[in-house]
Amino acid sequence: MKIAVISDIHGNLQALNSTLKDIEKRKVDKIICLGDTISKGIHQRECLKIVKNKCDIVLRGNCDRHFSTEHKDIDKMTEIERQRIIWNQNILTKQDRKYLYNLPFCYEFYMSGSLVRLFHATPNADDIAIINQEKIETKLSMFYPSEKTISQNIADVVIYGHIHHPYMDKLYNKTIINIGSVGNSFDVIRNPKKDSNVLETTKSNYLIIEGEYGSKEYTSEISFQFIKVPYNIDKELEDEYKNMEKENYRFELKEGKYRNITKIYDNFKRLGIDVDKI
């Protein structure tokens, strides 16, 4: 079976449509979405409708949760955060918000002997960023179950989203994979003197996992394929005047950089990485 795993669409209709066209071309059997279909872009409802129609499994991301929640403490938030919540919630219907809020946290299955567990960010929370430079102990914790996982077994393969940066690593006979982002791809290690073409980063990213679905036996092959799909960024930005965060959204889509680079550098400093030497 071939399973496509997508994540972090963030209201980017052009990226989603181009990605699904590529998935259809590759004759995939099932599509799993790891969340954050909404927020940032203006085509949130269109993307949500497509995801509900095309994906076999949809998980809940932190933005799905945050912008579908009725915030009783909204008056205590900063003005910009209040505006973001109001703007995003005005785009969605009550039915949309109810659907998003009630999405499952986790999904798992066996494939070619491996227990594969999928979630948006970590086994415990949907809003913690585990980057590819993390310490080994932190990455190892991603395989352990929690009260939110379907089973209490230790996973062999973990697949997640949230950080918008695809990578794969191996440790202790286990495999950890981030599939990147469909609609909001960026790279965190950047330097204008060292960077290649930005289009290497700003394409849509997703993963295909292929193997014997449901098998607990290590008797068949399993494979992981990272896909990068080009899409029309300029067309996605044609009606950006409707977006309350249009400058940030344009910056991320065109430059492939996160709008809050200070937050990423804080993570680097926490890990002992000298950001001045990047």
- Residue 109: what pLDDT? 98
Burial class from Cβ neighbours inside 10 Å (0-12, 13-18, 19+) for residue 129 reads middle
Task: Please report where in the chains the tokens 């909404």 appear, as a residue.
Answer: 38
- Residue 278: what pLDDT? 82
CB atoms closer than 10 angstroms to residue 240 = 15
Measured distance CA(147)–CA(153) in Å, rounded: 11
The mean pLDDT value for 27-47 works out to 97
Look at 73 and 126; give whichever has higher pLDDT. 126
Query: Pairing state of beta strands 2-6 and 204-210?
Result: antiparallel
- Kindly give, in sequence order, each residue whose CB lies less than 8 Å from that of residue 210, ignoring residues fewer than 6 positions away: 1, 2, 3, 222, 223, 225
Percentage of the chain exceeding pLDDT 70: 100
Comparing CA positions, the residue from 56, 63, 70, 81 lying closest to residue 5 is 56
Average pLDDT in the chain: 95
Boundaries of every domain in the chain:
2-277
Residue 46: pLDDT band (50, 70, 90) is very high
Helices and strands: H and E segment counts in the chain: 10, 10
The mean pLDDT value for 190-195 works out to 91
Residue 205 CA: distances (Å) to CA of 32, 95, 274: 14, 29, 28
| pTM listed for this prediction | 0.96
Q: Taking CA 126 as the corner, what is the angle to CA 21 and CA 15, rounded to the nearest 5 degrees? A: 20
Q: Does residue 276 register a pLDDT over 80?
A: no
User: Are the C-beta atoms of residues 197 and 72 closer than 8 Å to each other?
Assistant: no
- Residue 205: what pLDDT? 98
Look at 9 and 272; give whichever has higher pLDDT. 9
65-112 pLDDT, tens digit each: 999 999 999 989 999 999 999 999 999 999 999 999 999 999 999 999
The mean pLDDT value for 118-127 works out to 98
CB atoms closer than 10 angstroms to residue 250 = 15
- Residue 9: what pLDDT? 98
Comparing CA positions, the residue from 82, 64, 66, 63 lying closest to residue 74 is 82
- Residue 273: what pLDDT? 83
132-159 pLDDT, tens digit each: 999 999 999 999 999 999 999 999 999 9
Comparing CA positions, the residue from 54, 66, 68, 61 lying closest to residue 99 is 68
- Residue 266: what pLDDT? 81
| Fold annotation for 2-277 | Purple Acid Phosphatase; chain A, domain 2 (3.60.21)
222-272 pLDDT, tens digit each: 999 999 999 999 999 999 999 999 999 999 999 999 988 777 778 888 888
User: Are the C-beta atoms of residues 14 and 89 closer than 8 Å to each other?
Assistant: no
Query: Pairing state of beta strands 167-171 and 174-178?
Result: antiparallel
